[in-house]
A and B are shown apart, each in its own frame.
Chain A
């Protein structure tokens, strides 16, 4: 129903303008700002494309036995209380889920971290 190009296309195009045309014309202190603008646009684009958050939320709710809205807090509190320490029944499942949550979060915020860089 909405007109194209869509938001993702516009953001990507705007980012190219910032990097290719605006940045080279700026004095050095302002270049840092322009690089931050480009980084923010790239991040927002990755966030739009991120997949799997809903499934992870559901898994987290199942693991903690809390509702989806409270599951993060319940997981954090359970970890602090030692309920998922090594040697406990839920340790392996908790670590596996935690890794997949961290991978999704890093894929949006800092994808280079995942390639070992």
Chain B
């Protein structure tokens, strides 16, 4: 961000925060996602230092992710539902300030990096306690139910979240244009065994190790809300527990962090409803296939020349492992 943009940002923040003397003391890009850019933003606000994050779109934006205004509304809804999120502060939809819409939120402190989180058994009071705390967080997310005027950009809830997932993944495969028999095999197995619909809830849709910031104290922030939508609560539970999101620590079935039962117990205590165990293999296979489709799409961005990147190129090579797992999981449905 150049000097002129930074000056415009300061002026805008000063007005939004109601402090004409607001100053930007430090601004540095954080290791960000492929979809968003996050900037660490240190300011003086009413004379005191404040540590913030500015979140904006990356140059290449996925069509399936929500724009910043929507993500800001999701963060507000989550905060009101008691989910531990970085406090959303200011939204700027005027691209004239920094070049792209952005919002500013409080900066949570902790560890998100998945490989570090799964290796450290002391985080959040230990594996059982952290898994249970994450279950409670997810239950709070699922308290958000349609209809919600503030979340109307999410559209109507699907009549049948399971069948909608199968249809969505097939559509993305067709768009990608690469025939993938193993993924089709898994999707067909899902189609045959689709569970009946349940009342829809807000699903985070990327609630997994790596997208939650944790510390010795516990959960510091649930991050990355850009894929949220209405669905079956088990789609989040399955995404979190699927083997492909355990980062090598496969024995700890809740995200490589802790035991599945502790995660379920935390969820159930907070939700007041039971996790339907019979639905979990279905949604864990769906998670595996969804990740395979996303990984294939990421490699396609590299292959198309749209965004040449070794990281995207290697992400594509996750697909065969997911296919291998999916074939075995389909047998068990």
B-contacting residues of A (Cβ < 8 Å)? 29, 33, 36-37, 39-40, 43, 72-73, 75-77, 79-80, 82, 84-85, 95, 98-99, 101-103, 105-106, 108-110, 113-114, 117
Contacts and interface: CB of A to CB of B under 8 A. Distances in A.
B49 interface: no
Given A82-B188, A85-B188, A110-B320, A101 B314 contact: no
A14 B310 CA distance: 17
A73 B179 contact: yes
A98 B181 contact: yes
Contacts of B323: 102, 105-106
Contacts of B187: 80
B321 A75 contact: no
Contacts of A98: 181-182, 185, 327
Interface in B19-35: 31
Contact of A40 (B313, B320, B324): B313
18 contacts: A33-B310, A36-B311, A43-B317, A73-B179, A75-B179, A76-B181, A76-B184, A79-B181, A80-B170, A95-B327, A101-B181, A101-B182, A103-B324, A105-B319, A106-B321, A109-B321, A110-B320, A117-B248
A73 B184 CA distance: 11
A33 B180 CA distance: 29
Contacts of A82: 188
B152 interface: no
A11 to B, nearest CB: 15
A107 to B, nearest CB: 8
Q: Which 8 A-B pairs have the closest CB atoms?
A: A105-B320, A110-B321, A76-B179, A113-B321, A109-B317, A73-B179, A109-B320, A79-B184
B320 A85 contact: no
Q: Interface size for chain B: under 10, 10 to 19, 20 to 34, or 35 or more residues?
A: 20 to 34
Contacts of A76: 179-181, 184
Given A40-B313, A79-B188, A72 B179 contact: yes
A31 to B, nearest CB: 13
By secondary structure, the A interface counts as: helix
Contacts of A105: 319-320, 323-324
Interface string B273-307: 00000000000000000000000000000000000
Interface of B: 31, 170, 179-182, 184-185, 187-188, 192, 248, 250, 310-311, 313-314, 317-321, 323-325, 327
A106 B324 contact: yes
Contacts of A106: 320-321, 323-324
A75 B184 CA distance: 9
Contacts of A29: 31
Contacts of B192: 85
B314 A36 contact: yes
A80 B188 contact: yes
A95 to B, nearest CB: 8
B310 A37 contact: yes
Contacts of B325: 113
B40 to A, nearest CB: 15
A37 B311 CA distance: 9
Contacts of B310: 33, 36-37, 40
A53 to B, nearest CB: 13
Nearest to A64: B181
A22 to B, nearest CB: 15
B170 A39 contact: no
Contacts of A114: 324
Highest count of chain A CB atoms <10 Å: which of B192, B248, B313, B327: B327
Highest count of chain A CB atoms <10 Å: which of B184, B192, B320: B320
Contacts of B317: 43, 108-110
A29 B28 CA distance: 15
Contacts of B248: 117
A75 B181 contact: yes
A77 B179 CA distance: 8
A113 B182 contact: no
Given A36-B314, A40-B310, A113-B325, A79 B185 contact: yes
